[in-house]
Structure 1
């Protein structure tokens, strides 16, 4: 009965089939208006512009004789701040090459006057690639032209000094900020704190925190997170706890609770069992973690394969007052569906709906997939229809997944129906899906239906 009802879709789909020639003629007729023509010209112009940027970027990254090749392109008319910035951003892993391109743009095009945006993008690229001497040359050029260096760029450079274990240089830059007219903001302090923690210089990091407080800079969440993460990664959880307690006594409470910071630090350091133990202790005392902290913990637990533990923990913290967000439901529903706990997945989905969340496809698609894996196709089809009737339309990935699962389970007629549904919703199916459905229909003897699906693909793609 279900197959018969769904088969009417084919009658609607394969009644008057529009030929490719008719479609093209219609497009050409519509195209005669001036507005459509102008829009197409603008679109073509944008395509040409970005294609040129892509081509220039490839030359910068790969051509040994870059300057000579660029001169042959005769692009002087389009060399401006926007083009240079886009090319520099595209070549963010090519330090010296980006520097050569920047110099070429400046020396060969007198009308081009670089702005702070291009200078700073080049500084980031040179810091990222470790070309420190060249980076300082560029910084000096900015100073000569009275262009300011923002605190965010300084922070970026200090962090990359830290990543390269060049902490002395990071400290030197921090102490020289006055010469660049750059204030020692919380963001800059955080970057130096990160550099010190990278080399496990916790004594220096703690001294920096004390200096930060003396100078009147206010610690933010990142300040606490950097130090707690550093201590946890070194296995110094007690020191992290003492630091949080001391800051609390001094009146500098972190923007999130200390225990949440500890859990995040343990997770970042890979101490999953310790993080789980801390959460267990919290729940026994009647406390719940912050929702973002719980999401990080739940994701880590699910990746480790302890999904049953994660679902039980989710229920416990919800009873204690945790307010799950969309990410929470996504993690838990996906995890429950993967291990076949479909009833639990349904209950959690219904809970999210009761709390006012709209069940978008990535929330209910894992349940559909789990039902199909268990061979419960009729239940999957009913659930899918229910979602659509309640105004939660599936997207292209959801249809693609369902079609693939149907073909794996030998439900080729239903798979064909979903292909047609996709086309009615202007969701173009993948060529591979057409092939899977057609091959399956032919193998089970439904050659006429397979031919109609092939015709539908031809009409859609205009082959």
Structure 2
């Protein structure tokens, strides 16, 4: 019988890449040749280290990942690439562990690897995404002494300023960027324009877009135009929004789903459903496949226009196009039907969700429950209430108040007792609920009934 063939370092990298289970990948990495006894240690490649660290980091198996990093620090045959450590810093950031990200950043030199602006930018990005604005400022103090900030550095800073509503700081950062000779790129302008639009400063955003093309010679990109189109659609300036779409097409920029979805949503909202369908078809022809968000935008617009027939047609079209409706698709329609008092249709759709292959979520339950309470369908609402509690959901306090108030006004003691018992079991009876019940009893001289209610609800 021939001896088993040993796995080579190159073969190990290939096997690790194909192994989807991070635990099995770790076992393979730690013992690549279990059937072969060799006095020499396995000569791992840098690629193998990169692959296993990435798999463990994505799976948030940080203890195991750190064990591999310690092993990597003892390697003398090669110097690890900085990107490996940038990835580790990002993994810690996604797990909301900025202190761990800092530790990794500090340890990079111990691996004989030089830190460049890439690792500094990665730390900045982690701090920004974790909301550590003060630590960002502290980190920036010494940055200039070690590396030269690049466009990515300034883009992160501008984004942080915009997200915190400090647009003046964002402008100052943009000015500093230019003074230092760092050329702004499409991301820079997209970030600034998005921040301006989010703060309703549309005129400034439009001027900046013009400067981007005329002064800075930056080619137009869809992410730059998307916030402008969204803001124009929000204020009802659809002709200007379509003008920007035409401008992108003149520059031969391929439109993304965000641009199409924004226009479709606006057209649907303003009752121009024929044009919305036309844009949808154009989107398909251009090779940009509509997704659930696109179709949901149409559904929402039609529901706002109370055109539920059109909304249902979109559902059918989604299925036909192979795009499965999600719970948001149904929640929008259920909410629209409830708002218009079509509670029977809303309830029918709600009960039909399992057949449609969609599971109700808490938003769905709260929507149908609130709708039934609004239209005084208290018996049906009580049934939904029990189902919610069974699934571990709870309605909003406003809806509970509306249900109890309605039952008190009707003096429906049997249903009121049932509701109070359910609410008591869920620990959702507050002072406001008891005030409603006692007020009802005083008006209708039913204090003895209230006493019985209290005794029944309070007894475990």
SS in 2 for 1:153: helix
Distance in 2 separating the partners of 1:165 and 1:145: 22
**For residue 291 of structure 1, what is the aligned residue in structure 2?**
292
**For residue 435 of structure 1, what is the aligned residue in structure 2?**
435
**For residue 315 of structure 1, what is the aligned residue in structure 2?**
312
Distance in 2 separating the partners of 1:313 and 1:209: 45
SS in 1 for 2:353: helix
**For residue 72 of structure 1, what is the aligned residue in structure 2?**
none
Q: TM-score, normalised by structure 1?
A: 0.52
**For residue 263 of structure 2, what is the aligned residue in structure 1?**
262
Q: CA deviation at 1:450?
A: 1.2
**For residue 254 of structure 2, what is the aligned residue in structure 1?**
253
The CA RMSD over aligned residues, in Å, is 4.8
Paired residues, number? 312
Distance in 2 separating the partners of 1:406 and 1:434: 13
**For residue 189 of structure 1, what is the aligned residue in structure 2?**
189
State the structure with bigger RCO (CA 8 A, min sep 6), 1 or 2: 1
Q: CA deviation at 1:274?
A: 7.2
Kindly provide the CA deviation profile for residues 4-58 of structure 1, in whole angstroms up to 9, marking residues without a partner as x: xxxxxxxxxxxxxxxxxxxxxxxxxxxxxxxxxxxxxxxxxxxxxxxxxxxxxxx
Kindly provide the CA deviation profile for residues 139-197 of structure 1, in whole angstroms up to 9, marking residues without a partner as x: 98455675976632233447899956996x56533424667xxx856542312444596
Is the Cα–Cα contact under 8 Å of residues 263 and 293 in structure 1 kept in the other structure? yes
Unpaired runs of 5+ residues, structure 2, are 1-97, 100-126
Is the Cα–Cα contact under 8 Å of residues 269 and 300 in structure 2 kept in the other structure? no
**For residue 325 of structure 1, what is the aligned residue in structure 2?**
326
**For residue 418 of structure 2, what is the aligned residue in structure 1?**
417
**For residue 101 of structure 1, what is the aligned residue in structure 2?**
none
Residue 162 of structure 2 is aligned to residue 155 of structure 1: no
Is the Cα–Cα contact under 8 Å of residues 331 and 367 in structure 2 kept in the other structure? no
Is the Cα–Cα contact under 8 Å of residues 415 and 437 in structure 1 kept in the other structure? no
Sort the Cα spacing of 1:366 and 1:238 in 2 relative to 1 into closer, same or farther, 3 A. Answer: closer
**For residue 203 of structure 1, what is the aligned residue in structure 2?**
210
**For residue 63 of structure 1, what is the aligned residue in structure 2?**
none
Q: TM-score, normalised by structure 2?
A: 0.52
Distance in 2 separating the partners of 1:258 and 1:228: 7
Residue 125 of structure 2 is aligned to residue 121 of structure 1: no
SS in 1 for 2:257: coil
**For residue 275 of structure 2, what is the aligned residue in structure 1?**
278
Q: CA deviation at 1:379?
A: 4.1
Sort the Cα spacing of 1:123 and 1:298 in 2 relative to 1 into closer, same or farther, 3 A. Answer: farther
Q: 157-166 or 394-403, which moves further after superposition?
A: 157-166
Sort the Cα spacing of 1:160 and 1:339 in 2 relative to 1 into closer, same or farther, 3 A. Answer: closer
Is the Cα–Cα contact under 8 Å of residues 299 and 332 in structure 2 kept in the other structure? yes
**For residue 240 of structure 1, what is the aligned residue in structure 2?**
244
Distance in 1 separating the partners of 2:132 and 2:373: 52
Sort the Cα spacing of 1:380 and 1:191 in 2 relative to 1 into closer, same or farther, 3 A. Answer: closer
**For residue 395 of structure 1, what is the aligned residue in structure 2?**
394
Distance in 1 separating the partners of 2:165 and 2:450: 62
**For residue 12 of structure 2, what is the aligned residue in structure 1?**
none
Kindly provide the CA deviation profile for residues 187-238 of structure 1, in whole angstroms up to 9, marking residues without a partner as x: 423124445964222432444896257xxxxx5x633413434665664244
Unpaired runs of 5+ residues, structure 1, are 1-80, 83-115, 125-134, 214-218
Kindly provide the CA deviation profile for residues 36-87 of structure 1, in whole angstroms up to 9, marking residues without a partner as x: xxxxxxxxxxxxxxxxxxxxxxxxxxxxxxxxxxxxxxxxxxxxx99xxxxx
Sort the Cα spacing of 1:317 and 1:151 in 2 relative to 1 into closer, same or farther, 3 A. Answer: same
Q: CA deviation at 1:275?
A: 5.8
Q: CA deviation at 1:368?
A: 3.9
Distance in 1 separating the partners of 2:165 and 2:382: 56
